[in-house]
Amino acid sequence: MRDINQIIVHCSDTYVSMDIGVDDIRTWHVRDNGWDDVGYHHVIKRDGTVERGREHNVIGAHARGMNENSLGVCVVGGKGDDGKPDVNFTAAQWKALHDVVFDLKWKYGGNIIGHCNVPNSGKSCPNFNVLAWAEELGEQK
């Protein structure tokens, strides 16, 4: 098993009306990026369902420069009707995100960060302060 020292939270940058899952994102990543699979290890749908992407022992494709030692968790949504970043996740998604991140942290340790916290990402993703969220939940060191 590889050494995991980061759990990186993402959003799919999709509208609330887009009820997508791992298969949709896999199609985009393979078709548009030429990757061999979806970039994330977990995808959390609008109803809170957690779908598995890549296996944990497989390096992801979700945070340039940090994939080797991280796991990527993507929450579906994150784009407002105006096309701008928005924190529009459902209560079921917030619960699932907590449960997934807690489980990964318990299994692997490491820090919990947002894609926006990755050096030189230039992203607002996942459009909320993951560091403060994790600290508030007592998940951060």
Among candidate residues 10, 29, 62, 105, the one labeled active-site is 10
pLDDT tens profile 95-115 = 999 999 999 999 999 899 999
Can 108 be counted among the known catalytic residues? no
The domains of the chain are located at 6-136
Q: For residues 4-17, give the mean pLDDT.
A: 96
Residues 40, 42, 62, 105: which is the catalytic one?
40
Q: Among 42, 79, 115, 116, which one carries the catalytic annotation?
A: 115
> Is 56 among the residues known to form the active site?
no
φ/ψ of residue 110, rounded to 5: 90, 175
Could you tell me the pLDDT band of residue 53, with boundaries at 50, 70 and 90?
A: very high
Active site residue 74: no
Active site residue 40: yes
Name the percent of the chain lying above pLDDT 70.
98
Count the Cβ atoms, other than its own, within 10 Å of residue 25: 20
CATH of 6-136, one of 3.40.80.10, 3.30.930.10, 3.30.70.890, 1.20.120.450: 3.40.80.10
Check if 10 is active-site.
Answer: yes
Res. 83 pLDDT band, cuts 50 70 90: very high
3-state secondary structure of 30: helix
Does residue 141 surpass a pLDDT of 60? no
Please classify residue 136 by burial: count the beta carbons closer than 10 Å to its beta carbon, then call 0-12 exposed, 13-18 middle and 19+ buried: exposed
**Catalytic hit among 15, 56, 98, 123:** 123
- Taking the whole predicted model, whether its pTM rises above 0.75 is answered as yes
Q: Is 20 left (phi over 0), alpha (psi -120 to 50) or beta?
A: beta
